[in-house]
Structure formats: structure tokens, C-alpha cells
Structure 1
Amino acid sequence: MIDYIIVGFGLAGLSFAEQLEDHKKSFIVYEDGSQLSSRVAGGLYNPVILKRFTSAWKSSEQLKIAVHFYKSLEQKLEESLLIELPVLRRFTSVEEQNLWFEACDKPVLETYLSSELIKNNNKALDIPYHFGGVKYTGRIDVKKMLSLYLRHLEENDRLIKQSFEHTFLEITPDFVVYKGIKARNIVFTEGFGVLNNPLFNYLPLPGNKGEYIIIRSRKLKLRQAVKASIFIIPLGDDLYKIGATYNNNDKTAIITQSAREELERKVQSFMNVDYEIIDQVAGIRPTTRDRKPLLGSHPEYGNVHIFNGLGSRGILAGPYVAEKLYNYIEKKEPLEKEIDCKRFEKLR
């Protein structure tokens, strides 16, 4: 008998698998590549919600844990994954500047926001009201990280590349059995795919489609990520990721012309150099109704668990809540009410 079965592999699955490896637990991961949200993510980590100049949930705690987590992963996988990358917020008015200065005076934000306006020196960008700078930001090469970790799992006989068929899962009070594999616990980290899981599909995870375009521009010469109505994220080699869109209605991972046109329109409103689009990607973010993660156990089965709902902030939140879930299962430490899936038990 092994300790865990993990179903699904994105940022949630990786974060929890790493907890298990750190604690010398035996486990198997089932992954079929059906959920693309983590693989197409922008990869930025940033402790501030730049649309409203507010602190992200548990940002201080998450940041410390996440940076240590990714640096440890770099050593394990022997590859560079974490890139320190400044983030600049483009202002569109004096009023926005004033709101920024007000935010700088708040104790929860003063650590992360620069109180001095940053003048634009890049002729490729139209920035009449200057920038605000965010500290302690960076980018994770998520696609590379997931690919390397899958190879690591495969090399250690911990990966099964198959779709998980929920009807074959047998649950007893002491263990679960799936196609001959017996485990003490099973953790579902399926992202938006949880809607096909009969054990947890009652949870309110409406999802949100996001699309990016990847452009090449030899004249842009941008070394910082810029947040305007969309992000421009430098990838190196004159490549930039532009996005993302937010669509609450379309729940397919198919790229669309309308999203492409929206992103081009927004970036052209303040970028004035030539570029070519070399790729477009789409995925469904596993967003919850209250914008908080979903963690915990099934109401009837104490060895059946969920780890989901990271939304658009999985880079920072993933390692933090993975540790919370591990301690909940193994050490019986209670989950914070705001992330415990029990908050939606009445919806069953």
C-alpha cells in the first residue's frame, strides 16, 4: 500500500507532490494533460493586486514560502526556473497616481510598493503619467517546471499517463483502491476538470478562460513586466507574453480570434513598435466563487481530499496551501475556514 494517489498535475499537483517527497511519502500521480491552465499561465508572482492596489490574500506568508519552494526546486531539478523580474504599473491619470500614493502608506502594502514615480525611458511605450514600481516580484517558467517535474516523477516510477476514471475508485474507511493500487489517501488536484468528478462536482468552481498571445518585437527592448489593462511579460530573445483575457462564458481551451483582437487592441493603445504574433494559448483558470482556494476532505470520506481553486494566483498560493493541506491530513491541523471546502457543504 502506498501513502497517496494524486489525480491531476498542474501547480496544485506539483506543490502537493513536493510536500510528499519532502516528507518521504510514497505516491503515484495520474495525469492526462487535459487541463492547460497552469501550462499556459503567465508565470508572474506578485504580492499586490494591481488593478485595485490591494494586497493579495496572505501575500506576505505566501511570498516567503513560494520563493524558498522554487529555489529548492531549482536545486532538485538542476535547472533555472525563477527569474527576478521588476513589475511596473502604468498610470493613466493623476488620480491613479494619488491612489497609488495612498496605498503606499498602508502598512500591509508599504513593503511592496515604491513611493516614487518611475519615469518611462522606453520610446516604444506611451506612458505619460509614469509608472509605479512593485517590489519582490518575479517570473517562474511554469511550462518548463511542470515538464521537468513530470520527467522527475517518471524517472522515479511515480507517474501514470492516463485519464482517471472515477467509477473505478473504491473507497473504504482505511484506504482507497484504484485499478489495483491501494493508497491511504487520494488527493484530487484536477483544476477545472473537477467538474467531471462526482465526488466534488458540487463545489462552486465556475472557472474563467484566459488567453495570451506571444509576440516577437526586436524594437521593444523591455526588461520589466508592465501592467496596464494587460500585462507585457518579457520572456527573453525578444519574445513577450501579452495577456490575459478573462471570459466567464466560454469554457473551452480553444484559442479565439476575438481574444486575439482584444489583446492586440489593448497593447497597441500604449505600445508603438512593430511586432509579430508567433503563438496564442488558452486555458481555464480554476477560479472559485469567493476567489479562495478549495482544500479539505470529502464530507463522507476522510481519506478523499481536494486541492483546487488556485485561480490566477497559483504561483504564490500553491506552495503555501499545499503545506496547509499536508499538515491537515498528516498532523490533523485544522484548515483556515476561508479555504476549507466545508464552507460550501450546504451545496451538496
Structure 2
Amino acid sequence: MKHVDYIIVGCGLAGIAFCEELRALGKTFCVFDNNSQQSSLVAAGLYNPVILKRFTKVWKSKEQLALLDFYYTRLEKLLDVKLDYKFPILRKFSSVEEQNLWFQATDKPGLEPYLSLDIKKNTNPNIEANFGFGTVKSTGRIETSRLIYHYKKYLKSINVLIEETFDYSVLVSEETSVIYKDYTSKHIVFAEGFGIRNNPFFNHLPLYGTKGEVLTIKAPKLQLDYAIKSSVFIIPEGNDTYRVGSTYNRDDKTNKPTVAGKKELVSKLETLMTCEYEIIDHKAGVRPTVKDRRPLIGRHHQHQSIYLLNGLGSRGVMVSPYISKQLYAFIEHNEPLNPEINCNRFNP
């Protein structure tokens, strides 16, 4: 038997963040992943402390941003790749009324550091924005697909990645440990994203999943070094390519791109951008979204060594380091979980 401190199931943004917490603190672990979940790979990777539809603060945004630079800088050094690209996000205004709502939002508690008081005029001839933009600060993009690819490569190099589908039926839960095939461990953490629907220990929880589709376009004339948020995001990725997204579909739970999703994105894009472009990629994934828009972390209500790290929604690059620390402190030091994110808030 092989003994580790932790078994982790899932190697998306949540699983990687928890691995990093363990690695930094000298814990041993292994990771099971079958590449079935696409949301972390498809994610645009924006980090942004403001909900731009309503001009409100993201939950625990200050605490999340405080960890972000250190976390991704450490990953860049470990993997020897560039992951963090900092640039502002410009929120397009559609009217004077929206401009006024923006100025009102700058007085809201916690938003002042992130919202510029200046209205930025549009100077790009290929963008339609007659009422200008509001600038959001402390923002940028994490290259999520590059992170996942290189992190899995790293896990393989240290012989802790097992690329197979996890078989829940052979997991043995004891009072202070778990046994899975040839492994024994003090704890097991499920970080499977929408894959939770197949997990008999946690599939009772209200993680519904929201499908998102994104396009990658090539637009040499656009020349943006910032992201724009209107009815869609346009996010620069370098070499005249841009990510355009995203759709929100609560009914379709597949990772397959659709004609309808593509049409929706193209229609919205063309109300914002006027230059020629070429669609070079179209992807889809199901985000792990929860009905109250809070993560799901904590211990199973009956099995003392089984834990959950899930429900990151569309903000995985920001929230994953923060909730991984919360879960680790809960497991190792018995520090109480915030009731807002404790998965047991939904138990009978």
C-alpha cells in the first residue's frame, strides 16, 4: 500500500490550488484526474473584484486579491511559464444613466480602490462606445489552459498524477482514514467541478452547473491591450487574438459547442466591434455554479475523512487560492469554516 496525507480527485483550478497548499506545507498527496471536466480549461481566466452587471463587490474580493500575486508568482516559478497578464478591464457604458450608476458605485464600501472616477473616452475606431468606459483596477488574466497543462506535467514528473476515472464504489471510508485501491490516506478531497453529479457522497448538493461557450478570434486591426466588458467580454491574448465570451446556459450540461451559442456570441460581438475578424476556435464547458453563488467546501456530514472543494463558478482563478487555505485550516487545525461556504449548509 502507498500512504499519502491526501488523495485529491480533480486537477482543475480547485484541485491545483489545494495541491499547492499541501506542497507549500510539506504534505504528501496524489491526484486522480480523467480530463472529463472542461470548465477550468475553457475559462477566460479573468480576475476582477467587481460584478460589472450590478456594480457591486465580489464576495471576499479583498481577501482573494491579497493572495493572488503571491500564489501565481509561485506557480510561474515552479512551472517556468508565464501565467499572469495584468491589464485593466473597461466597462462599456450604454447611456448617461449607466455613467451615473458607476459614479454612485464608487461610493459603495469596498469598491473605491477598484473603480476609476474618470470616464475613459473611446479612441479605438473599431469599437462602438459613444458613452465611453469605466475602468476597473486590480484586474488581469490567468492563462488557465497553460497552467493546467504544465501543472499536470509537473505532477507526472514527481509521480503523483493518476490519469484514470475515480471509482467511488471501491473507496473505503474509515473513522480516521480512507483506502482507495493501493492507496491509504488520512483525507480525500473531491475537487471535481461539475463532475460532482456522479459523486455519491456529494451529488445531493445544489451544484447545478451553467454551460459557457467562448470564441477565440483573430482581429489584427483591433489592437487592444485591455479587456472590454459589454454584453460580452473581449479579452486580449496576444498576437492579435482575443477571447470572446461567455454564454450562460442552465439547461445544456454538455461540453459540446453549439451553433446557437456561436450565433449568440457573434451577434453580441458585432454590436461592439466593427473591424473584420476570423473565428479560430470555439469551446464550451460547464461551470460548477451553486444556487446561492458561494463555493461548496467542507467535510462530508457522515464520513470524517471525506471533503469537498467545489462551486467556484466563473471566478475560479480568484477564489481557488482563498478557499483552499480555508479548507486546509479547517482540516489540519480545526478552524471553523465560514457558514456561507460550508457545504453542510445544504444538508437535511
- What is the TM-score with the length of structure 2 in the denominator? 0.99
- Shift in Å, 1:263: 0.3
User: C-alpha separation between the residues in 1 aligned to 2:251 and 2:133?
Assistant: 33
Displacement after TM superposition at 1:137 (Å): 0.4
User: What corresponds to 2:344 in structure 1?
Assistant: 342
What residue identity is the alignment partner of 1:184?
Answer: K
Matches within 5 A, 1:224-239: 224-239=226-241
**What residue identity is the alignment partner of 2:185?**
A
1:170-181 equivalences in 2 (<5 Å)? 170-181=172-183
Aligned pairs for 1:57-72 within 5 A: 57-72=59-74
Shift, 1:275, TM fit: 0.5
Q: Distance in 2 between matches of 1:171 and 1:78?
A: 38
What is the RMSD computed on CA atoms of the aligned residues? 0.6
CA drift of 1:80 comes to 1.1
Residue type matched to 1:285 in 2?
R
* TM value normalised by structure 1: 0.99
Identity of aligned residues (%): 49
| Secondary structure at 2:347 match in 1 | helix
Identify the residue that residue 305 of structure 1 maps to in structure 2: 307
DSSP 3-state at the match of 2:117? coil
- Which of 315, 323, 326 lines up with 1:324 in the alignment? 326
> Given the alignment of the two structures, is residue 289 of structure 1 paired with residue 291 of structure 2, yes or no?
yes
Equivalences for residues 38-77 of structure 1 within 5 A: 38-77=40-79
- What is the distance in 1 between the residues matched to 2:295 and 2:85? 25
Q: Which residue of 1 aligns with 2:19?
A: 17
Equivalents in 1 of 2:176, 2:297: separation in Å? 20
Deviations 1:218-238 (CA, angstroms, capped at 9, x unpaired): 111111100001100000001
Distance 2:68 2:223 in 1: 29
SS at match of 1:63: helix
CA deviations on 1:58-114 (whole Å, 9 max, x unpaired) are 000101112211111111112111011110000000000000000012231010000
**Residue identity matched to 1:165:** D
Q: Which residue of 2 aligns with 1:85?
A: 87
Structure 2 unaligned blocks of 5 or more: none
* SS of residue matched to 2:308: strand
SS across alignment from 1:117: strand
**1:178-221 CA-partner distances (Å, limit 9, x unpaired):** 11211110000010000100011000000000000111011111
The one-letter code sitting in structure 2 at the alignment partner of 1:226 is I
Match in the other structure for 2:269 = 267
Counterpart Cα distance in 1 of 2:158 and 2:252: 38
Counterpart of 1:219 in structure 2 is 221
Answering whether residue 194 of structure 2 is matched by residue 166 of structure 1, we say no
Tell me which of 243, 246, 251 is aligned to 2:245: 243
Name the SS for the 1:80 alignment partner.
coil
Runs of 4+ in structure 1 off by over 4 angstroms are none
Q: Residues of 2 paired with 1:260 and 1:303: CA distance?
A: 43
Give me the whole-angstrom Cα distance separating, in 1, the residues matched to 2:69 and 2:290: 25
Q: Quick check: 1:134 aligned with 2:148?
A: no
2:168 counterpart letter in structure 1: H
Q: What residue is the counterpart of 1:196 in the other structure?
A: 198
- 1:174 CA displacement: 1.8
> Which consecutive unaligned segments of at least 5 residues does structure 1 have?
none
Residue 150 of structure 1 corresponds to which residue in structure 2?
Answer: 152
CA–CA distance in 2 between the matches of 1:106 and 1:58?
15
Moved more, 16-25 or 76-85: 76-85
d(CA) in 2 for partners of 1:158, 1:134:
40
Q: Which residue of 2 aligns with 1:29?
A: 31
